[in-house]
Every structure is written in structure tokens, then in C-alpha cells.
Structure 1
Amino acid sequence: MGRRPVDVRPVGDDLTDVTALWLESRVGQGASREACARTISDGRLAAALRRPGVVASVARLEGAPVGFVVTTDNPFGLSPTPEVTIEQLYVCPDARRLGVAKALLASVLTGAERGGCETVVSNVPTTSREANRFFARLGFGSVVTRRVVPTRTLRRRLAPETAPTGLELDRRRRSLRRRAFVPPFPG
């Protein structure tokens, strides 16, 4: 018996399926359901999916949505040739190993070829061993390590005195150093 056919279609105006899958993926990664629900309710997810150059597609098995992919066109503009970047790829746990991810990637490839893109890039979390193996089997190679930092952390590290809590942190460190220093006992 063969695999069930996977139907992949671009997301149109109705974001219901991709929104539900995105919520499931984020919560599965450890994000708070409430924070994700706020992102959806205040329209940030919908706005992100409607940006120019962003394409979202949903995969269905027997009519039920089971995965999605979100791509962007040449997001940094630094490549000498056009490229498509896979920003997010998610398949529901119950639908894994059924060809859903490959079907989603086939739709990405078709779109890349239509757009004249010579390269497909994927942002894969370094901690996701299974995802890294999956992409490596398909020929994706490791080119760079992408590191991410919250702006407030970077501000604190670059110039602690200008960060809102920088002076307080310095005072605390000095205080701890003074307490740790025990002068020699005069003897």
C-alpha cells in the first residue's frame, strides 16, 4: 500500500489553518500558548505572512491540515543570485514520516525554479538533530552559524553603563567583590 497523497497549496486570504499549525509548532517548541495567542490576536502573525516576498503553504492529508512552510525571497539581498529562504517548516507529530515535509519542500522548489532562484536556504535550529539530518539527506550543507540575541542583552553586553540596568549591575558586582575579599589577618 502506497503513501497517502499530500496536497500542498499556497495560503490565500484565509489564514486559519496556518495560524493553528503555527500555534501548535511554537507551543511544541516551548513557547507560552498565551504569548502565541497574543501574537495571533493582535495581528502580528497575519502581518508577517502578508509581507512582500513571504509565501506560506499548507500541506493536507485527507483534507486535514498537517504542516506548513513559510519562505521569503532573498531576505538579505547579499547573495549575487536570487534565493529562497525557508524560514519555518513544521509537520504535526502524527503526520511525520509520511512524506509531508518532502511535499512541502517540493512546493518550495517549484516556486524557487519559477522565480529563477538558484539556491534554497533553510534556517534549521542547531539543537534539532532530526531536522538537521533531514535537510542534510536532501543535500543541504552547513554554510554559516546564525546567532541570535535579544536587543536588550546585546545593549547590556556592549555598553552596560548605558543599559537601563547597567549601573545597577556594576554596583552589584563591586559589592560582591568587596564581600569576597577578606583582608589578611594581622598577626
Structure 2
Amino acid sequence: MNRSLVSLRSALPSDAPDLAVLWSDVLRRADHDEQVADLVQIIEAAASSPVERLVVAEYDGEVAGAVHLRISTLSPLNLDQTVQAISPHVFPQFRRKGVGRALMDAAVCFAEEEGIGCVATAAASASRDANRFMARLALGPQAVLRVASTHAVRSKLTAQSPAAHRTSGRQLTQVLAARRSMRRSQAPTAG
């Protein structure tokens, strides 16, 4: 008899430290304790939500991976419902043991239970293995999500704008200052 060593269950607040390590590359930049506190909040919110699930995969009793499932629209402009499989991650020592497949199966089961005809996920662009895995499961690219800090985008926008637009604010300030100076110098003095 062939028994699978992979089992799935809902995440518990006690899983937060393991999940903070698993998802360290996708969590907000904070110290470990803050990340754990964030995850406890996320786990509790998912447990009480009819449109979210946080699924943990165990391999032979050890936490091996997890995925956050959420019912949403395909995009703010395309209102078709989809189950988003957010950050399906597997610890390196448990890869190629069926854990990732079990996590994605949880996403498909959730979609089927809710009568939703589409499953979406994302994989880091630099992760060839994750992208190949998703492609083997018939998940094709829909869009490319690009992210940068607000400061970086502002500096690039400023650097790429035409010179007249970059200096016009400074020139206006200088013109107004010069006019104020002229008015002060021309004002009659009280004597």
C-alpha cells in the first residue's frame, strides 16, 4: 500500500514562526518577531473568512510548505472570480516530494468547492524551478508584476522628464523671489 507522506491542514497561530521562515522573502521587511505577529494576524483573519484559507502542508509530520488561498476577481478590471494561490512555498528539503502539487491541489479543490473556474498564482521571476512547475500545471503568464520603491520610481520619472519640466518649478520660484526683492527695493521708505 502506497501511503502519501504529505498531508494538508489549516494553519494555526502556532505555525507562524515556521511560516515566517518559509515566507521570509515575501513578508514585509521587519524583525522576525514582527513578521510572526503579522502572520498570526493573517492566520486568524483567514480562519474566520469565507473567502480565504491558509493551508499548511506537512511531510511526515513536519511543516513542509504553505499557501494562502483567496477568492478575488482576476483583476480590478476583469471581474471574473478566481482563486488566488498566493505564495505557494515549499521548504528546500521537502521539494520534489509532492508538497507543491498538494498545495496547488488545495487551490483547485477550493475553486471547485466555490464553483470558481479559474486559479491564479505567481512565482518569482528569478525562480526557474517554480515557473516550470507552474507551467507544467497549465498555469500560463497573464501579466508581469513589476515592483519598485516609490522613491526609485520618482527619481526615474524626474530624470526622464524633459528638462523644461524639471526646472520650471525652480525657475518660477526664482522669478517670484526676484519680483519680491524688486518690490521691496522700490517701496518708499517711511521717514
TM-score normalised by length of structure 2: 0.69
Q: After superposition, where does 1:142-157 map in structure 2 within 5 Å? A: 142-157=141-156
5+ residue gaps, structure 2: 160-165, 167-191
2:20 is aligned to: 23
Identity level (%): 26
Task: Write the distance in 1 (CA, Å) between the matches of 2:121 and 2:81.
Answer: 14
Task: Flag the structure with higher helix content.
Answer: 2
1:10 is aligned to: 10
2:175 is aligned to: none
- Asked if 1 retains the 8 angstrom alpha-carbon contact of 2:64 and 2:90, the reply is yes
* Residues 1:110 and 1:143: Cα distance change in structure 2 (over 3 Å): same
Task: Write the distance in 2 (CA, Å) between the matches of 1:78 and 1:30.
Answer: 25
TM-score normalised by length of structure 1: 0.70
2:181 is aligned to: none
* Residues 1:55 and 1:152: Cα distance change in structure 2 (over 3 Å): farther
Residue identity matched to 2:97? L
* Residues 1:149 and 1:32: Cα distance change in structure 2 (over 3 Å): closer
1:54 is aligned to: 52
- Asked if 2 retains the 8 angstrom alpha-carbon contact of 1:83 and 1:118, the reply is yes
Q: Specify the structure having the higher radius of gyration (Cα).
A: 2
Aligned residues: 155
| Pair 1:44-2:38 in alignment | yes
Residue identity matched to 1:9? R
Residue identity matched to 1:15? P
Task: Write the distance in 1 (CA, Å) between the matches of 2:150 and 2:29.
Answer: 23
1:122 is aligned to: 121
Task: Write the distance in 2 (CA, Å) between the matches of 1:59 and 1:113.
Answer: 19
